[in-house]
Amino acid sequence: MTLRIAFRALARNKLRTALTMLGMIIGVAAVITMVALGSGAQAAIESQIRGAGTNMITIFPGSVTIGGVKLGDGSSSHLTADDAKTLRTLASAEFVSEGVQSQQQIIYANQNWRTAIVGVNVDYVDIKSWPLRYGAFFSEQDVAAAAKVCLLGVNVAENLFGSDVDPTGSTIRIRNHVFRVLGVMAPKGASTSGQNQDDQVFAPYTTVLKKLQGTDFLTYILVGALSADAVRQTADEVTDALHYAHKIPDGADDDFRVQTQEDVVKLRTAATSTMTQLLAGIAGVSLVVGGIGIMNIMLVSVTERTREIGLRMAIGARGFDVLLQFLVEAVVLSLVGGSLGIALGFGSANFLKWYQAWPTLIEANAVVTAFVFAGAIGVFFGFYPARKAAALDPIEALRFE
C-alpha cells in the first residue's frame, strides 16, 4: 500500500521526478563506467603480464663490487649453466630454461634484419606458455649438440620472408653461420618491459654461447613453478639454492636477483588501482549531488502536500506512517534512478569498449555496491524531509494554504 501510494505521488509530476532521478542516474552510471574502465585496464595489465607465464620466476645476474664500487644489476658474470642444473634438482621447479641474448644481423637472400637472438632451452615454451604458428621447437639433442637451428618471431619472419609465409626448412645467415629455420612462434606482443617479443629469433642457448658470443655466462634463467600458489615458495628455494651454489656468506650481497611475476603484477597495477579509486571517488560525488537533489525535491513535496499530511493525520495516521511514506518515496526515487544508472553504465562501458577499443570489466560487486549506495543515499537524504513531514501539527497542516 505504501509503495503504491509512493509511485502514485511521484507520477503526479513526471517531469520533476525524471529530473530529480537524473542526478542519481548520472551518478550511478558514472560509478559503473569508471570502475569498469579501471578494472578493465587493471585486468588487461595482469593478463599481459601473466601471458609471459603465470608461474614464471626470472633469475638475473646481480651486482659486483670492484674497489668498493658497486656496478649495479647485471654486472655479475656468475650466472651460468651450472646454476640452471642446480635449479633443476628442486622439486618445486617444474621447468628450467637457460637464457642468453645477443643482438645480430640476420640475412636471407637479399633481405636482412637486425634483431635479438635469444638462446634458450626446450622448457622455454612451457614456461612462457608460448605456442608455435609453424613448425616445431628444437630438441634436447639440438641443445646438447649446439646445433645451428632456430625459430623466428612472427615479425622477423614477415620482414625476411613476407606475410603468411611458412619459412620452415629455409636457411638464414647469422654472422658467418648458417642456421636452419625450424618454425615460427605464434604472435605474443609486448613483454612486461615493453619489448616486442615477436621481434626475436630463438636458438639453443649452447649455440648462442659457443658460436655467437664465445662466453659461458647467462643473461638470465627462467624457472616455472609447479603452480601459481607455489611461486613464492619456489622463489625462496631458488634463492637458497643459489646462495649455497655461489657460496655467498650470511649478510653478504647476492650476485643474483630473483623476480617473480607477482612482483611485476603488483608494481604495474598499483597505479591503475589508485586511478580506479580516484575515478570512483569522483563518480561518488555525483551520487551525493543526486542525493541533495532528492532532498530538495522531497522538501518541496512536503510543502506542497501539507494539507494532505494534515488530513491523513486527522483520520488516524501516525507520525511514523507519514515518515515512512515520504522515506519510501525518496528510496523509490533513488533505486529507480540507480537501476536506470546501472543500465546506462553498462551501455556506456560497452560503447567505449566497442568505439575506442578500451578494455572494460564490469564486476558484480561494483553493480551491487552502486545499487546499495543509491538506496542508502535515498534513506539518508530522504530522512530529513520525511521527519519534517511527520512532525507537522495536524491542525496547522489543515489550515495551510
* 184 phi, psi to nearest 5 deg: -130, 135
Whether 282 and 319 share a structural domain: yes
Whether 228 and 287 share a structural domain: no
Would you say 92 and 234 are in contact if contact means Cβ atoms under 8 Å apart?
yes
**Domain end marker among 214, 245, 276:** 245
Number of neighbours of residue 113 by Cβ within 10 angstroms: 19
Name residue, grid cell 638462446.
119
Query: What average pLDDT does the segment 366-392 reach?
Result: 75
Domain of residue 278 covers 2-47+266-399
Whether 341 and 390 share a structural domain: yes
**Domain end marker among 198, 214, 245:** 245
Report pLDDT digits (tens) over 142-175.
Answer: 999 999 999 999 999 999 999 889 999 999 999 8
In a domain, 257, yes or no: no
Predicted TM-score (pTM) of this structure: 0.56
Identify the pLDDT of residue 187.
92
Q: Which of 280, 282, 287, 330 is nearest to 22 (CA)?
A: 287
Identify the pLDDT of residue 66.
47
Report pLDDT digits (tens) over 173-200.
Answer: 998 999 999 999 999 877 656 678 999 9
Report pLDDT digits (tens) over 356-367.
Answer: 767 777 777 777
Q: Which of 75, 59, 20, 36 is nearest to 240 (CA)?
A: 59
Q: Quick check: helix, strand or coil at residue 220? A: strand
- When pLDDT is cut at 50, 70 and 90, the band that residue 74 belongs to is very low
- Please check the confidence at residue 100 and state whether its pLDDT lies above 90: yes
Would you say 205 and 98 are in contact if contact means Cβ atoms under 8 Å apart?
yes
In a domain, 346, yes or no: yes
Report pLDDT digits (tens) over 208-220.
Answer: 999 998 888 899 9
* 259 phi, psi to nearest 5 deg: -130, 130
- When pLDDT is cut at 50, 70 and 90, the band that residue 201 belongs to is very high
Whether 114 and 160 share a structural domain: yes
In a domain, 66, yes or no: no
In a domain, 71, yes or no: no
92-106, 269-283, 299-313, 362-376: lowest mean pLDDT where?
A: 269-283
In a domain, 306, yes or no: yes
- Please check the confidence at residue 302 and state whether its pLDDT lies above 60: yes
Whether 279 and 384 share a structural domain: yes
In a domain, 92, yes or no: yes
In a domain, 168, yes or no: yes
